[in-house]
Structure 1
Amino acid sequence: MALFQCDYFSNVLGLSTGMTVILPNNGQAGADGFPTMYLLHGLSDDHTIWLRRTSIERYAEEYGIAVVMPNGHRSFYTDMKDGFPYWKFISEEVPALARAWFPLSTEREDNFAAGLSMGGYGAFKLAMRRPDMYAAGASLSGALDMVTRWGPDDDFWNAENRRIFGSVEELRGSDDDLLHVAERLAASGGEIPKLFQSCGTEDFLYEMNLGFRDHARELGLDLVYEEAPGGHDWAYWDTHIQRVLEWLPLRKK
């Protein structure tokens, strides 16, 4: 695999940011370009963390897939109420720039989103809101129901939620409420991405993940759900990102 660390100016955000990209080393991109997984980080990390805490470069090599890891800061990959337009950044600018700089496929069947925690939320949001672009989305330990993350005794978290989403009333039923997005997707009659969800049974987001799983199943979405002993930590994510790569519906070339 070949590794690229990109520092660049985002016109959407109006600031300098970074992107880490892994490309297959055999140089055989094919006529459509390399299949690509956009791999998103969690709340307290950045675009370098997957490379630093897992063997994602080694794992991806087996599948001949490119991996694009952008920096989403603490945005929940959302056009923030008080902040920056990170949804437009992640859904439009990041893939456009990555495809301009690297031989990446633009075909829906070759594009996938994945992530952990906040990134699991972002990956499912990409897959479910842009099913025209992504054939599949994978969430590890995802924060998949942000409506429930408001707490009466957690002033810091509630203040951060307000900066990102506005009020809980504004979030509920919006494009950033994944349960609502799932309902709309199921009723759309259009393309439906495959979804993969995994969470550790000792994770503090475990009950939230069960709730999303049950909601998606009731809607009839194409969801594979797996769980295993583990917490909200890199030991779990390093193991289960391998399962994500194994599950991805990669096309035979």
Structure 2
Amino acid sequence: MASIQLKIYSAALKTRTNVNVFLPSLLPDQNGATKRKHDFTTYYETHKDFPVLYLLHGTFGDEGDWQRFTRIEDYARNHNLAVVMPYGENSFYRDTDAGKDYETYITQELPQVIQWMFPVSKKREDTFIGGLSMGGTGAVRLGLAHPEIYGYTIGLSAVTDPIENLIDKEEFTVWSHAFVNSEHGQGSADDLYDLADKAMKSEKVRTKLYLAVGTGDFLYEGNCKYHEYLEKIGYEHVFSTGEGIHNFDFWDPQIRKAIHEWLPLQSAGRVAGL
């Protein structure tokens, strides 16, 4: 995999921001590593339109979290999957009153930048979004709200309960700036129940959902309730749970499972031990 660190100016954020990217590249078994004769032309002529997964980090995190704390590069390499990991502050990936419009950035501007720079697919069925904790919440919300962009959505330990439970207007929180002068109660753009309900009533395409949470996670009960609601309204989804808490010991095997077993990807093949 090619590992790329970008620093770009974002019109939606009105500032420079960081993005980390993994892009499938030539492997030893595709070149003939043990032979003097080499071949690389065929690979670059035939490998393009890679499926792409946008991965969002959690609160206090950054664009490097997925690389530091999971084996995401290895999982992606096994399936010729491009991975885009943007920086999202503690924004919940919302458009904010302060002028940093993270939803616009993630759903509109960043995909255009990535499609302009790299040989990734523009098809919704090849475009995925996922995240953990705050990023899981953002991924589920954006996936439900923009099914024309994301064919598949992964939410690990997402906040599925009403978001106002986290936001106290009388007290500062690390997310306060993201919710200034905005509606975020029942029926708002942040209401995952309402978004799922509207998606079921719409004639548009729907994103497929993969939700996962550990049984020891403080968000477990809320995720179970959301899973039950999705089943009630008939929304197609996978609900994966097991022993674990709110940390990468649970999230790493779950993102592996989602990539290897759930996303519509083909194995890239590789040589072991090289």
TM-score normalised to the size of structure 2? 0.84
Correspondence for 1:250: 265
Deviates more, 1:169-178 or 1:22-31: 22-31
1:34 aligns with 2:61: no
Shift, 1:20, TM fit? 0.4
Task: Map 1:161-176 to 2 at 5 A.
Answer: 161-166=175-180, 170-176=184-190
Task: Map 1:1-253 to 2 at 5 A.
Answer: 1-26=1-26, 27=43, 33-147=49-163, 149-150=165-166, 155-157=171-173, 160-166=174-180, 170-246=184-260, 247-250=262-265
Is the alpha carbon distance of 1:15 and 1:41 closer, same or farther for their aligned partners in structure 2, counting shifts above 3 Å?
A: same
Look up the SS of the partner of 1:210 in the other structure: helix
Q: Distance in 2 between matches of 1:152 and 1:99?
A: 39
Q: Distance in 2 between matches of 1:141 and 1:170?
A: 20
Shift, 1:6, TM fit? 0.3
Q: Distance in 2 between matches of 1:77 and 1:43?
A: 11
Correspondence for 2:31: none
Structure number with greater Rg is 2
Q: Distance in 1 between matches of 2:97 and 2:224?
A: 28
Q: What one-letter code is carried by the residue in structure 1 that aligns with 2:25? A: N
Look up the SS of the partner of 2:172 in the other structure: helix
Deviates more, 1:60-69 or 1:208-217: 208-217
Q: Distance in 1 between matches of 2:167 and 2:117?
A: 43
Shift, 1:170, TM fit? 4.3
Shift, 1:152, TM fit? 6.7
Any stretches of 5+ residues in structure 1 without a counterpart? none
Look up the SS of the partner of 1:171 in the other structure: coil
Is the alpha carbon distance of 1:177 and 1:63 closer, same or farther for their aligned partners in structure 2, counting shifts above 3 Å?
A: same
Any stretches of 5+ residues in structure 2 without a counterpart? 27-42, 269-274
Is the alpha carbon distance of 1:110 and 1:202 closer, same or farther for their aligned partners in structure 2, counting shifts above 3 Å?
A: same
User: May I ask how many residue pairs the two structures share in their alignment?
Assistant: 251
Look up the SS of the partner of 1:74 in the other structure: coil
Shift, 1:155, TM fit? 2.8
Q: What one-letter code is carried by the residue in structure 2 that aligns with 1:98? A: I
Q: Distance in 2 between matches of 1:203 and 1:30?
A: 44
| TM-align CA RMSD | 2.3
Q: Distance in 2 between matches of 1:171 and 1:162?
A: 14
Q: Is the contact between residue 136 and residue 249 of structure 1 (CA under 8 Å) also seen in structure 2? A: no
Q: What one-letter code is carried by the residue in structure 2 that aligns with 1:17? A: T
Shift, 1:81, TM fit? 3.2
TM-score normalised to the size of structure 1? 0.91
- Over the matched positions of the two proteins, sequence identity in percent amounts to 36
Q: Distance in 1 between matches of 2:225 and 2:256?
A: 24
